[in-house]
Amino acid sequence: MSNKKILQGIDTVIIRVSDITVSKKWYGEKLGLIPIWDDQNMKLVVMDTDGPTSITLWQTNSEIINNKDTASYPIFRVIDADESRNELIKRGVNVTEIIEDNVVRYFQIFDPDGNVLEACQVHE
């Protein structure tokens, strides 16, 4: 086993939410993600990101405490950061200003629980 890879990519990223019904609707309507698995007993839903890694929204009864400076978060690829950001704003999504460097243009997105997501355009 020492020569074989133990880990084989990321299957899903779990995002804890306070209300699975509200979050499922928000991620679907605002971000355009489609549910591919819904477990009402576990209060979780897996959302298709149109990539190899899904997002799993999982309800918790614990208080959700977010700090955008220390949180782990998924980063979504976008073709045009300005266009994507403007569309999200039209949909009523809370987003930051675009930040740009020599490699990327990106902005952060906040879901109803204040969870941090990011959208990133790589310069080509």
Nearest-CA neighbor of 95 among 105, 85, 104, 83? 85
Tens digits of residue pLDDT in 65-123:
988 889 999 999 999 999 999 999 999 999 999 999 999 999 999 999 999 999 999 98
pLDDT in tens, 6-43: 998 999 999 999 999 999 999 999 999 999 999 999 99
- Position 1: which residue type? M
Structure tokens at 29: 């309507």
Q: Can you tell me the distance from the alpha carbon of 45 to that of 62, in angstroms, rounded to the nearest whole number?
A: 18
Single out the residue of 94, 90, 89, 99 nearest to residue 117, CA to CA. 94
Check: pTM over 0.75? Answer yes or no. Answer: yes
Domains of the chain as residue ranges with CATH: 12-122 (3.10.180.10)
